Amino acid sequence: MIDRQLSNLKPLVVDTATYSSRYYRISSDLLFMQRSHFWQSPASEIDAFPDLWTLTFCDFEPGQVALRARGKVLPLIGKNIVFIPKFNLVEWILGTGHLNWSCILSKNDPPTTAPRTACVFPWPKNLDILNPTDVLNWLQNANALLPIDKMDKSSVVAERTKQEIDQNFKQSFKIGDVAKKLGYHHSVMDREFKSCFGISPLTYRNRLRVFEAQSLLLFQSLDVSQTAQTVGFCDSSQLSHHYRSLIKASPSLFRPLKTD
């Protein structure tokens, strides 16, 4: 059914050594992505989207995928929808083999009644995931199944650090400057942040920049050099280095799609 609906849309195809993605523009502000990914060994991935929210539609078998949230491992089994609002961290625990899923991405604000933290919903049978109106109406009224935001412990230091990075990640600054501004010792801030969110403040800032670059390349007509400067990297070479490390592809493969 979905393949038939997509047959009239021209996709942006991104093929790498480990995954293949198909991006379709289904409205002026919504993209639909299909991903097929092969994992040779178990892995853990942390997503952190800045100016972007996502809905992931998945139907996984036991042992394929789990989420690490609030210090617990939550298996993701059967048909579920994972909602990740802007500036939320989510950790995926991935088994070996092929994984297939779909995702909606948007740079617009989600409905005002949508959850403020990442969560899992049961996948309704009658939801047309390629109909933007249906998807937004559903998201506005959906009842969450489980909160899945990655915060392994409560920490004022980590939360203040995250807030500072969220507000300024596109600016040129050193992580030590954040510690100095907030009145923390650099090593204490780094340790608290990592124990809470699973990655260092520097990794988090760079991850925000890379995912922001990806969304700009997909939604706006900026070249790689302009995108690098917009998100806070020194130049296109620095962006490409971090982009290839995280996305496993060159940023030049990503470009905006037009609405048919």
Tell me how many degrees the CA angle 18-233-108 measures, rounded to the nearest 5.
75
- Say what the pLDDT of residue 147 is: 86
Domain extent listing, the chain: 2-147, 156-197+199-253
Superfamily of domain 2-147: Jelly Rolls (2.60.120.10)
Average pLDDT, consecutive stretches of 10 residues, N- to C-terminus, the chain (260 residues): 76 94 90 95 94 95 93 93 95 95 93 90 90 89 81 91 97 94 96 95 97 93 92 96 96 79
CA distance 23 to 34: 7
| pLDDT recorded at residue 242 | 97
CA–CA distance from 70 to each of 77, 146, 196, 199 (Å)? 19, 11, 9, 14
Residue 77: its pLDDT value, please?
A: 96
Closest to 200 (Cα-Cα) out of 189, 211, 209, 212: 189
Q: Which residue has the tokens 């400067």?
A: 229
Could you tell me the pTM of the whole model?
A: 0.92
Q: Which residue, 249, 248, 250, is CA-closest to 236?
A: 250
pLDDT of residue 26: 87
Question: What does the pLDDT read at residue 146?
Answer: 82
Per CATH, the architecture of 156-197+199-253 is what?
Orthogonal Bundle (1.10)
- Rounded Cα gap, residues 227 and 236, in angstroms: 8
Q: How far apart are CA 194 and CA 158, in angstroms?
A: 8
- DSSP state letters, 141-204: HPPPSEE----SS--HHHHHHHHHHHHHTTS---HHHHHHHHT--HHHHHHHHHHHHSS-HHHH
71: left (phi over 0), alpha (psi -120 to 50) or beta: left
